[in-house]
Amino acid sequence: MWGLRAVRGRGWGLVGVRSAGRGTDRPWATGLEGKQTNRTLLITPWLFNDKGIMCLKSNNITVAYSDNMKTYRYIGMRLHSTSTTVDPNEMKTFQALAYKWWDEQGEYAPLHSMNDLRVPFIRDNLLKMITNHHLESPLSGMKILDVGCGGGLLCEPLGRLGALVTGIDPLNENIKTAQQHKSFDPILDKRIQYKACSLEDIVEDTAETFDAVVASEVVEHVNDLETFIQCCCQVLKPGGSLFLTTINKTHLSYALGIIFAEQIAGIVPKGTHTWEKFVSPEELESLLESNGLLVQTITGMLYNPFSGYWRWTEHTNLNYAAHAIKSSAKVETEEHHTKAPGIDGQEASQK
């Protein structure tokens, strides 16, 4: 099983796969779906003493490392959009990682530090839209959807800033981790809702209800990007914002993300990433524009594996962030009227 092999290569020292005995004290083991096998991966406790070593390794990896985690996060997405092509072993390995979300110095450290860029990006762009805001609760009154929320790493900061956040993730374990983590904070408990489902499942019920949709580190794993973007557009209010962060499809991302991370260093299991699924900013922009989303900004992000910090950069050849706004129907009809009164609906639909 490649999952185990890759994981051992990191020095995790897995005991191996034990059959789930009665009364396992690992709660997430009980959450498996019926159709999956009954075997669970149990990690030995001394794993945590190696945290220093694991941290070292994680800090030495470039952006590809975070790709590794994202893959694990979004295996479930493939499950939902293309039914049963997901390898249950991949799911298991990821389930083993499900509880590790909130270790700020652990495997998900790069995602934690990406919040330093993502949260101000979302916050500042949303603040531009509203006129009177309170600095102590800048996003109060806003409804935000986080697609592929994982353990809730991005939902919680947005919730603290006052927004009402709905986090969705296809994997049950992630939702459980996220729910458990937010339950300790009474304020976040009220502001954040989690659901284990995919975007398609909620599109009908939540059409045009969200002020913003965030899909961070998601689109490079989605099978049908066009449908995904259309769904995002559907759930957004007119004038609402879509925030995306993803990886570019360049020679550099191939070299660092695929060759180095998967084949040389062996950190990411071979075949986890499909370079073909990476999306270039130009492609993304054209997809967004053709679905009624006006692109406002596209900026590059760069991860420094030594310091563990991200920073903004003008080069988008590795990671980048995009902000688009759903054009409001009202604006379109106004334009239509001011440009040439009396033009029939045909020309309007061509636009």
Partner 1 sequence: MAACCRLTRFLVVPGATLGGLRLPGLRWLSGSMGTDQAVYDVVVAGGGMVGTAMACALGHNIHFRDKKILLLEAGPNKVGKKLPETYSNRVSSITPGSATLLSSFGAWDHICNMRYKPFRRMQVWDACSEALIIFDKDDLDDMGYIVENDVIMSALTKQLDVIPDQVEVVYRSKVISYTWPGPFCNTENSPWVQITLADGRQFQTKLLIGADGQNSGVRSAAGIQNMCWPYDQSAVVATLHLSEPTENNVAWQRFLPSGPIALLPLSDTLSSLVWSTSHEHAKELVSMEEENFLDAINSAFWSDASHTDFIDSAGSILQYAVTFLQPTKSSARQLPPSVAKVEPKSRALFPLGLGHAVEYVRPRVALIGDAAHRVHPLAGQGVNMGFGDISSLIHHLSRAAFDGKDLGSMCHLTKYETERQRHNIFLIAATDLLKRLYSTTLSPLVLLRTWGLQATNAVLPLKEQIMAFASK
Answer for which of 13, 48, 207, 339 binds partner 1 (CB under 8 A) is 48
Residue 235 Cβ vs partner 1, minimum distance, rounded to whole Å: 22
141 binds partner 1 (CB under 8 A): no
Q: Give the span between the Cα atoms of 159 and 115, in whole angstroms.
A: 13
Residue 45 Cβ vs partner 1, minimum distance, rounded to whole Å: 8
177 binds partner 1 (CB under 8 A): yes
**Interface residues for partner 1 in 179-198 (CB under 8 A)?**
179-181, 183-186, 189-190
220 binds partner 1 (CB under 8 A): no
With H, G, I as helix, E, B as strand and everything else as coil, classify residue 344.
coil
Answer for which of 23, 85, 132, 136 binds partner 1 (CB under 8 A) is 136
Length of the chain: 351
**Interface residues for partner 1 in 18-47 (CB under 8 A)?**
27
Exposed e or buried b per residue across 78-111, where buried means at least 16 C-beta atoms within 10 angstroms of its C-beta: bbebeeeebebbbbbbbbbbbbbbbbeebbbbbb
Q: Give the span between the Cα atoms of 38 and 29, in whole angstroms.
A: 9
Q: Give the span between the Cα atoms of 257 and 35, in whole angstroms.
A: 33
Residue 180 Cβ vs partner 1, minimum distance, rounded to whole Å: 4
For residue 166, give the nearest of 150, 155, 178, 181 by alpha carbon: 155
For residue 149, give the nearest of 204, 98, 93 by alpha carbon: 98
Per DSSP, 20 falls in state: -
Per DSSP, 30 falls in state: G
**Interface residues for partner 1 in 113-132 (CB under 8 A)?**
113, 115-116, 119-120, 123
**Interface residues for partner 1 in 59-78 (CB under 8 A)?**
59
The pattern of x and - marking residues 302 through 321 that bind partner 1 according to CB under 8 A reads: -----xx-------------
171 binds partner 1 (CB under 8 A): no
13 binds partner 1 (CB under 8 A): no
Residue 339 Cβ vs partner 1, minimum distance, rounded to whole Å: 42
119 vs 203, which CB is nearer to partner 1? 119
103 binds partner 1 (CB under 8 A): yes
Token pair belonging to 118: 């993502």
Residue entry with tokens 């450290």: 109
Element spanning 89, H or E: helix 88-97
Q: Give the span between the Cα atoms of 4 and 116, in whole angstroms.
A: 32
- 66-74, 103-111, 200-208, 273-281 -> range binding partner 1 (CB under 8 A): 103-111
What lies within 8 Å, CB to CB, of 205 at 6+ separation is none
213 vs 219, which CB is nearer to partner 1? 213
Residue 128 Cβ vs partner 1, minimum distance, rounded to whole Å: 16
49 vs 333, which CB is nearer to partner 1? 49
Per DSSP, 321 falls in state: E
Q: Sign of torsion, CA 210 216 221 224?
A: positive
179 vs 246, which CB is nearer to partner 1? 179
Q: Which residues bind partner 1 (CB under 8 A)?
A: 27, 48, 51-52, 55-56, 59, 99, 102-106, 113, 115-116, 119-120, 123, 134-138, 156-162, 176-177, 179-181, 183-186, 189-190, 307-308
